[in-house]
């Protein structure tokens, strides 16, 4: 078995658009281009948001993609296509049957799965395996993805020349998934007014009220961001308390009450 450990592969806007700034991303692209010209099965492993589906579709851009949990639909696809992409193969209720059908029909398979998934048939069925590392190990690609997602947000919501990622610390807890969501929210919030903010809060609170302590429970939604931004802007509790029109002891009390949200005296 040929095992290719690829460290830098990213998922971007279009599923066939593979981008990377790091040496190993370029190596992954080189390997993917090689697979385009071969008729071998390949498995792409990684955590959510690491670009498994993107890379798979880059290898076979004209090939239909099916989710492994849709078992009956997938069996029909295997029988009627010369090649297919199976997403989340670990979710299949009968992996042995899928592999048997692919072999019987001579169907080439590019599949994705979690990097934690283990199955005795994987090495036999997939002679080429690419392991995609999380964004936390691909620092060079984060900036590239940020720019890509900003452009996508501009296209989705309308061009905003003033939009920049100030004080931006990428949320890569779910790799490209969380970072893309973060940038879209940041872009949207850069154009939002007070009435829209209140409307968002109303929608958020709509089905959450009902206890006897709701005011205190949801007050941090207002206080915590106000204090965080205030501390970044004015640098000291003394200045912030003055700007907010609060007694300094009152401000310190509010910070202490909200320590669970990361505020610290």
pLDDT tens track for 202-247: 998 988 888 888 888 888 898 999 999 998 898 888 898 999 898 8
91 and 66 both lie in a single domain? yes
Q: Quick one: pLDDT band at residue 68, thresholds 50, 70, 90? A: very high
Q: Determine which of 22-31, 141-150, 230-239 has the lowest per-residue pLDDT on average.
A: 22-31
**Range with top average pLDDT, 53-57, 82-86, 161-165:** 82-86
pLDDT (0 to 100) of residue 2: 47
pLDDT (0 to 100) of residue 5: 45
Which CATH number do you get for residue 79?
Answer: 3.40.50.300
pLDDT (0 to 100) of residue 92: 96
Number of domains in the chain: 2
27 and 54 both lie in a single domain? yes
154 and 170 both lie in a single domain? yes
102 and 151 both lie in a single domain? no
What's the Rg (C-alpha) of the chain? 24
Domain end (from 100, 135, 170): 135
204 and 228 both lie in a single domain? yes
- Name the residue range of residue 65's domain: 2-135
110 and 57 both lie in a single domain? yes
Domain end (from 111, 135, 159): 135
80 and 202 both lie in a single domain? no
E strands along 136-237, which residues? none
Work out the angle between the directed axes of helices 139-157 and 176-189 (0-180°, nearest 10): 40
Contact between 237 and 231 (Cβ < 8 Å): yes
Q: What is the mean pLDDT of residues 104-117?
A: 96
Q: Which residues contact 102 (CB under 8 A, 6 or more apart)?
A: 41, 78, 108, 109, 125
Domain end (from 104, 135, 166): 135
């Amino acid at each position: 078995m040929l095992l290719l450990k690829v460290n830098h592969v990213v998922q971007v806007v279009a599923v066939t658009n593979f981008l990377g700034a790091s040496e190993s991303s370029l190596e992954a692209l080189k390997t993917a281009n090689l697979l385009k010209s071969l008729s071998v099965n390949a498995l792409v492993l990684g955590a959510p948001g690491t670009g498994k589906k993107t890379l798979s579709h880059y290898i076979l851009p004209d090939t239909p993609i099916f989710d492994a949990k849709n078992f009956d639909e997938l069996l029909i696809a295997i029988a009627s296509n010369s090649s297919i992409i199976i997403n989340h193969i670990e979710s299949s209720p009968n992996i042995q049957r899928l592999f048997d059908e692919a072999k019987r029909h001579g169907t080439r398979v590019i599949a994705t799965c979690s990097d934690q998934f283990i199955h005795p048939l994987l090495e036999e069925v997939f002679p080429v395996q690419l392991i995609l590392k999380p964004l936390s190990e691909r620092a060079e690609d984060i900036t590239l993805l940020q720019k890509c997602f900003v452009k996508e947000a501009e296209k989705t919501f309308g061009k905003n020349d003033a939009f920049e990622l100030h004080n931006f610390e990428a949320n890569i807890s779910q790799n490209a998934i969380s970072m893309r969501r973060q940038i879209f929210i940041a872009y949207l919030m850069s154009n939002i007014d007070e009435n829209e903010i209140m409307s968002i809060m109303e929608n958020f609170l709509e089905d959450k009220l009902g206890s006897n302590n709701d005011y205190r429970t949801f007050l941090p939604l207002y206080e915590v961001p106000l204090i965080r931004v205030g501390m970044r802007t004015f640098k000291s509790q003394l200045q912030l308390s003055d700007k907010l029109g609060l007694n300094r002891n009152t401000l310190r009390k509010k910070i202490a009450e909200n320590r669970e949200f990361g505020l610290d005296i």
